[in-house]
Chains A and B, each alone.
Chain A
Amino acid sequence: MRVGDLSPAEVRARLAGDGLRIAAGPFHCRLQSDIGDIADELARLYAHHPLLDDGEFIDFHVSVQPGHGIRRWLRPQARFAVDAVEPFTPLPRAQALPMLEWGLNWCITAYSQHLLIIHAAAVARDGRAAILPAPPGSGKSTLCAALVNRGWQLLSDELTLVRLDTGEIMGLARPVNLKNASIDIIRDYAPEAFLSHPVRDTTKGTVALMAPPQASVEAVGEWARPAWMVLPRYRAGTPPTLTQMGSGAAFLQIADNAMNYHLLGSRGFAAVGQLVDRCRSYSFEYSRLDDAIETFDRLAADGGNEAR
């Protein structure tokens, strides 16, 4: 059974009661919230995710709840908690839905030291993954959203999960976090995709969440072999330019963007080393999404790690 099989009333009742239990890739999450406003959009964002049985092990018990006391009515707040601990200061209640997503990212990053976790998007084609690490504002999420609406499989928008034993990239297929101008760009580019209502004045500007494509959610258990590391950068008016990057520069990019590289010590060093050995690495400038898709499709057609 999937989240989309539940009626809106059932979703609200589960969120307000014992929790909406879902599988997001390798993680089992129990989501609770008395903020009814988020239920409908949450249900659409996770419509294709499987529901878990009551007895199944849960990795993250998370909730987004209204503020205490007067803050329920005066400048209402949302509070995120994991295992009843609140790791963040409250946010305005209008930000409850993105807060839940950011909170889940935090849980994965804080509690998954059996994986190398890279702050990067990851997409796949035919079992081969492209990893897209990039700083905020580089167009990473926009490019990721465009790719997964043109036949690429969404592994993750924010956190690339690398198995330490096999080096494979695990899927999460959670919503894509779009910011500012990219919201309208993707709305125009993929009108069939579901986007949540934009939430304004967050620390990241205006944000909206895009639902992962059904095919990506259904394929989330199919891990991908790392084949490309692409450092994207949106630059208005430039033609698509793919420039090969040395494996040393690629190593530093991945290490800089890995959340737990130093924590893992020699295992992190080995994992990043294995990743650069298996990937062709590039920097990539683009201004038009269609050009970018064409470039990625060409990469996929030319082959990736098999060539190394």
Chain B
Amino acid sequence: MRWPRMRRMLQRILFGLTVVAIVVISLAPFVWQVISSITTDRELLARPPHWLPEEPTLDRYRALILGEAYPGISPALLRSAANFRGAFVNSLTVAPLTTLASLVLGTLAAYALTRLRFPGRQGLFFGILAARMLPPISLVIPLYLAMRALGLMDTRLGLGLVYLSLTLPLVVWIMSAYFRSIPWEIEEAAMIDGCSPLGALVRVILPLSAPGLVAAGVVTLLFAWNEFFFSLIFTQTLASKTLPKAISEFSTELGAGLDYGLVTAGGVLTSLPPIAIALFFQRYLVRGLVGGATKG
């Protein structure tokens, strides 16, 4: 009687410790980024590190958000910090607009692919799916040459169009899976009541697949906000530079004067929107990824 109870308790303790370890490991690096971002330059160079800052400071956030100088910041660094606001505006323009366009166009395409009969349907569906697998590196050289020729280099429009082409397959994929789960009869009833096919889509099918729209929107938004590779190559100035590119420049442009303090503060600000979105829409995220992945 004694032993099994002891064993169960031991098991429970071990399980609890495992959960605590999972939570700590998941949070620690990001928490360290937040702590570093409010630690003064002098304390950042402590050995061993100060795990909690003695004199916490919000100077770096003030520099990034308001463009204010703080003691010890070099003119070059202040310029980088001021660039951050412009990059924030660019990200805030490119990501939502890409998402909106992608949802509208992708939904229409998914509707055609799942609800209408026409020659080449199956082939087009798998063609669109296959486009999702293309490695960015295989597209970037011709796109670089084309965008230079067309004057789309270093524009938000150019970057947004590339993102749109990359997110469309994803939206088509997720929305097709949703449309397939909606019985054909519901739509038929609407059409008998006098709806056009497009009317049936907007009034009947879309409300029923709202979770799919949210899922596709969240996945697209996260992609467009976080994307780095194309931003690295297609954007150069504040005319189009997005946050990931701006961050990568804090950490390299300055060479030896690498400023980890400013990098961590910029990293926190850049991560907050996607973290908030992912956590808030967690349920939809799971549905979007898994629904799209298993129902194809």
Co-assembled chains A and B: no
Residue numbers of A with Cβ under 8 A of B are: none
